[in-house]
Amino acid sequence: MKILLLTVIIMVSQLCFGQSDTMPKHQIEKFDFKIGHWKWKAKGLTKPNDPKIYNGTGFSHIYFANDSTAIIDDHKIEWENGVSYKAITYRTYDTISNKYLVVWAQAKSSNTAKIEGYWEGTKFIEIEKGADKFGEWTNRMEIYDIGNNYHKAKLIRTYKNGYSLTILEYEATRLIKNDIQTIDKKQ
């Protein structure tokens, strides 16, 4: 009886306070397609008060973190106007809200965001709300056209008055080992 009671206590404590190796990864395995090194063909806005759309080349390294319950997307884009953009995106599954939690942070900046995400069919959607001098807005990031070695993304900001603009679009292609070694040598 004592052994049975001890077993139940251990199981309950693992459920309440920590994840055992046999527990599910809380849906994060749906992001297996993103794990690896990627090259981006990007276009988008690069800085405030510059309405011009620029082309850029981006790279990302995406890997599991926190005992495979989250992924980190470490990415950068070199824009044709000389702007260098660097940021990370942390994605995990929040078991309390039953939604994906996305945290984005830009390097050398105070720009950070806490975003909710969800799957809509074969697209992953990230929604962020905020306001600026033009009014309240909603950012909608879609990751779509997902394959083993390819995916696309688009970030559109829509203001409460209906005006919308595309902030970023990219097409990502998985890099092979030789490409990764060449890029690492250049950095």
Q: Encode pLDDT of 123-172 as tens digits.
A: 999 999 999 999 999 999 999 999 989 999 999 999 999 999 999 999 99
Closest by Cα among 106, 122, 29 to 71: 29
CA–CA distance, 143 with 132 (Å, rounded to integer):
25
Q: Which domain holds residue 35?
A: 29-186
Assigned domain for 18 exists: no
Whether 83 maps to a domain, the answer reads: yes
Q: Angle CA(51)–CA(54)–CA(161) in degrees, nearest 5?
A: 35
Let me know if residue 92 belongs to a domain: yes
What's the DSSP call for residue 69?
T
Please give the Cα distance from 4 to 164 (Å, whole number).
60
Q: Assess if residue 56 is contained within a domain.
A: yes
Tens digit of each residue's pLDDT (9 = 90 or more) over 93-113: 888 888 899 999 999 888 888
pLDDT band at 16 (very low <50, low <70, confident <90, very high): very low
Q: 46 lies in a domain? A: yes
Cβ atoms of 102 and 91 within 8 Å: the answer is yes
Q: What is the CATH number of the domain that holds 34?
A: 2.40.128.20
Q: Count structural domains, the chain.
A: 1
pLDDT tens-digit map of 68-89 = 889 999 999 999 999 999 999 9
In a domain, 165, yes or no: yes
Of 39, 38, 76, 43, the C-alpha closest to 168 is 43
SS3 content of the chain, % helix, strand, coil (to 5): 20, 55, 30
- Distance (Å, whole) CA 167 – CA 165: 6
As a whole number of angstroms, the distance between CA 187 and CA 184 comes to 5
